[in-house]
Amino acid sequence: MRFESMTDAIGNTPLVRIDSAVHGLRNIDLYAKMELLNPFGSLKDRAAWNMARPLLAQAVERGDTVVELSSGNTAKALAVIAGMHGLTFKSVTNRMKVAEIKDLLLLLGAQIDELPGQAECLDPTDTDDPLTRMYHRLAGSGGGYLHTDQYFNELNVDAHLNGTGPEIVKDLDGRAPDYFIACVGTAGSSTGVASALRQHNPDVRVVGLVAHKSDFIPGIRTIDEVHEVGLFDPDVYDTVETITADDAIDGLLTLVRRCGTLAGPTGGGAYQGAVRHLRAIDAQLTERRTAVFIVCDRVESYMSYLRERRPELFGRPPRRNSVRTVTDADVRQAVTVDVAEAERWIAERRGLVVDLRSPFAYQALHIDGSINIVDELFAELLHGGLPFGRRQPVLLVCPVGEKSARYAALLTRMGHPDVRSLDGGIIAWRDAGAELVRD
């Protein structure tokens, strides 16, 4: 396969059978449309390219900025496409909820504008939704923008009507599947694919999946939010069902661990929603049926999302010399010195003073002669062993004397014979009128 441009690699993704030993359906062949294999990592590559392509030549001529209201895959694809054409991309978003995607966008050179959070005191005149606010901003900026408008742009649907949908039919030897299951985000893919499939078989059952209202699943909208989407037409779906973040993660785990498919939560949600919907039907069937769901994107961008919701998946063996293993009894054994004694100890240059506060705070004001090793870094060093000799006397300093006592206890347990903690911390030091310097 030889291509002139990465955008030529968009589309023509494989349709892969999910092993019946995994999904347990006896009469239904379940296939996954592997949209995660698009070059920029998701289904949205198709829509982004289809929406941007006709406008690019003009935009390049004028030096426009590409703008989209997106906090995820569309932004990612548009950022890449804009970069390939020497244009800037700006993502306007309500709230970027997934840290990795935010970082990736910044890495791609995108600008991210986050809109303000909801007001605590109600302002009855503030009735604009983010889309309207963005339109005002674009209008006020006097042009120079290429706005792809994914929630209302028919070219979003068109990318799937002429691409994703017909590809599925072709791979099923010219037949449409009996069931099509898709998560609803912009509704572009589900609407486009559904129309294409129904052109071949008007009886295709289309299941739309939306997120449970109090849940957040990246790339899926809740039942209320879909009504804000211009492309959403309830008549496309034979049924709209709800999935939770837990469902999505369960499905994701099945796909990544058992199906060789490194799917993100949207793909996981589609799998879980598909199997749940089909299981009831499967039991009644006497002849074979075919079902297709979409694996939208890849798992790698959702590590923080998964870590937050399923910390147990990331269980690691405990590290040695961890301050968390210090007991209150250990702390009571730690040597502490009060401000007056510490002042004498320091004046006599008896040893090393380690300030465990943040570098910013240390630089602002600290005890003369102390060195700064912020607690996180100190903890990291201690996992490897003592960062100074056993004959080196040490005085530990923190804000209120609590952390320093824990570290003093830990150092003692690690075999350091001459370590002490400043009782009451640097706040007691300040309150006693002892000297603080800034140099």
Partner 1 sequence: MPLHLAPQIDPTLRSALDETVLMTQLADALGSPLGVILPQQLADNVAAFRSVFSGHRLSGQIYYAHKANRSSALVRELAATDAGIDVASLAELQHALGAGFVPQRIMATGPKNEEFLWLCARTGVTVSADSVGELATLAALVTDWSLPPVRVMARLSGFTSTGVQLGSRRSRFGVSAAAVSEVLDTIAKHAAALDLVGVAFHLDTIGLPEKAVALEGCLGALDECRRRGLRPWSVDIGGGFGVNYLADGTQWEQYTSALTEAVLGRRAPLTWNGHGYGLRAEGGHVRGALNLYPAHRPVSGPAYLDRLLRTTSPEQRRPLGTLLLDNMYDLHVEPGRALLDQCGLVLASVLEVRDEANGDTIVRLDCNARDVSLEEHGVLMDPVVVHRTTPAAPGPAGVYLFGNLCLEADLITRRQVFLPSRPRPGDLLAFVNTAGYLMDFSATHALRQPIGRKVALYRDDGAWRWCLDEQYWPVHHRAEAP
Q: Per CB under 8 A, does 5 bind partner 1?
A: no
Kind plus residue range of the DSSP H or E element containing 66: strand 65-69
Contact pick of 214, 315, 317, 439 for partner 1 (by CB under 8 A): 214
Contact window for partner 1 (CB under 8 A) among 59-67, 79-87, 356-364, 415-423: 356-364
Which residues face 67 on adjacent strands?
90, 147
User: Does 426 contact partner 1 by CB under 8 A?
Assistant: yes
Strand-strand pairing, 15-17 and 28-34: antiparallel
In the three-class reduction of DSSP (H, G, I as helix; E, B as strand; rest coil), residue 178 is classed as: coil
Stretch that binds partner 1, among 10-18, 221-229, 308-316, 323-331 (CB under 8 A): 221-229
From the list 40-48, 108-116, 248-256, 346-354, the region that binds partner 1 by CB under 8 A is 108-116
Q: Is the dihedral of CA 377, 383, 387, 388 positive or negative?
A: positive
Long-range contacts of 196-200 (CB under 8 A, 24+ apart): 196/160, 196/161, 196/162, 196/164, 196/165, 196/166, 196/168, 196/169, 197/165, 197/168, 197/169, 200/169, 200/174, 200/175, 200/176
Q: What is the 3-state secondary structure (H, E, C) of 75-114?
A: HHHHHHHHHHCCCEEEEEECCCCCHHHHHHHHHCCCEEEE
Q: Judged by CB, which is closer to partner 1: 233, or 308? A: 233
Q: How far is the CB of 169 from partner 1 (least distance, A)?
A: 29
Q: Which parts of 109-138 interact with partner 1 (CB under 8 A)?
A: 111-124, 126-132
Q: Which is nearer to partner 1, 115 or 306 (CB)?
A: 115
Query: Which residue of 9, 285, 361, 381 would you call a contact of partner 1, by CB under 8 A?
Result: 361
- CB nearer to partner 1: give 3 or 360: 360
Looking at the Cβ atoms of 175 and 430, the one nearer to partner 1 is 430
**Which helix (H) or strand (E) covers residue 211, if one does?**
strand 205-211
Nearer to partner 1, 40 or 362 (CB): 362
CB-wise, 116 or 369, nearer to partner 1? 116
What CA–CA distances, in Å, run from 374 to 50, 190, 330, 378, 416? Answer: 50, 51, 22, 6, 20
Binders in 296-335 for partner 1, by CB under 8 A = none
One of 223, 240, 285, 386 touching partner 1 (CB under 8 A): 223
Output the smallest distance, CB 92 to partner 1, in A: 9
Look at the chain and count its residues: 439
Residue 41 three-state SS: coil
Q: Which of 15, 34, 399, 413 binds partner 1 (CB under 8 A)?
A: 399
Return the residue of 46, 76, 357, 420 that touches partner 1, per CB under 8 A: 357
- Residue 86: left (phi > 0), alpha (psi -120 to 50), or beta? left
Q: Which helix (H) or strand (E) holds 281?
A: helix 265-284
Helix H or strand E encompassing 198:
helix 188-200
End-to-end CA distance of the chain: 63
Which of 160, 189, 213 shows the shortest CA–CA distance to 267? 189
Q: Is 438 in the site for partner 1 (CB under 8 A)?
A: yes
The answer to whether residue 435 forms part of the interface with partner 1 (CB under 8 A) is no
Q: Is 400 in the site for partner 1 (CB under 8 A)?
A: yes
- For residues 180 and 67, the answer to whether their CB atoms sit within 8 Å is no
Cα distance between residue 48 and residue 410, in whole Å: 55
Q: How far lies 97's CA from each of 224, 248, 317, 393, in Å?
A: 19, 16, 29, 46
Stretch that binds partner 1, among 20-28, 94-102, 255-263, 381-389 (CB under 8 A): 94-102
Which residue from 224, 312, 328, 348 is in contact with partner 1, where contact means CB under 8 A? 224
Nearer to partner 1, 91 or 189 (CB): 91
Q: Which residue number, 82 or 295, has a Cβ lying nearer to partner 1?
A: 82
- When the beta carbons of 131 and 331 are compared against partner 1, the nearer one is 131
CB of 24 to partner 1, least distance (A): 32
Is the Cβ–Cβ distance between 36 and 267 less than 8 Å?
A: yes
- Shortest gap between Cβ of 191 and partner 1 (angstroms)? 14
Nearer to partner 1, 19 or 114 (CB): 114
Q: How many residues bind partner 1 (CB under 8 A)?
A: 51
365 C-beta neighbours (distance < 10 Å), count: 13
DSSP 286: S
Taking residues 55 to 84 in sequence order and writing x for each that binds partner 1 by CB under 8 A, - otherwise, the string is ------------------------------
Q: What residues make contact with partner 1 under the rule CB under 8 A?
A: 95-96, 102, 106, 111-124, 126-132, 213-214, 223-224, 227-230, 232-233, 357-358, 360-362, 364-365, 374, 376, 399-400, 402, 426-427, 430, 438
